[in-house]
Amino acid sequence: MSNATHMRPFLAALLAAPLLLGACRDTGKLFELSGRLVVFNYRVSTVTYVMTLNPLQPIAEGMMAVTTFENPAGGEPLVVSQKLFPNNQKVTIQSPPLECVVKDHPYKVSIRIEKAGGGVLQDIETTMVSSQDENVLPDRPLTVGPGYDPNPELAGHPDGRLPGGRGVSCPAGS
């Protein structure tokens, strides 16, 4: 037998090894939560949740992330749907602006990864906790327009506080 004939089983095993190792690492999870942040934007007077997901497997065409946020102001949860793109190295999910955020209170968030057509591929549950109360924000945006002009609603109120506050009724304890 030639040396090439003896090498065939070795070459086949060498080529199969990465496939076997990849199969051992496959946990079935498509994404892992890699970051969570409560963002206070003082200039525009908003609070949002921002989360990042790292893909653990390739993102298929047509995948969606449907995220449900507990509403700190009470009432119905806030739902955001976004398309996921195959070339993304990470996925960023942001809530709509929030009201009534309370320091150290855990707010529930669930992320449902869906395939094209709507079947659920993965559920991710987490909580968001703020290190600040919403009351650190001014009652209105400090600036308006593309030139960052001072907000006329805050004229005579250099601290950003208006007599009627933000105009939002928060649940008891917020």
Band (pLDDT 50/70/90 cuts) for residue 14 is very low
DSSP line for 55-124: ESSPPPTT-EEEEEE--TTSSSPEEEEEE--TT-SSEEEEPPP-S---BT-EEEEEEEEE-TTS-EEEEE
Q: 157-171, pLDDT tens digit by residue? A: 988 899 988 888 888
CA–CA separation, 132 and 102 (whole Å) = 7
| Ranges of each domain in the chain | 31-149
pLDDT tens-digit series, residues 66-105 = 999 999 999 999 999 999 999 899 999 999 999 999 999 9
* Spatial separation of the C-alpha atoms in residues 154 and 158, rounded to whole Å: 7
pLDDT digits (tens, 9 = 90+) for 99-153: 999 999 999 999 999 999 889 999 999 999 999 999 999 999 999 999 999 999 9
- CATH topology for the 31-149 domain: Immunoglobulin-like (2.60.40)
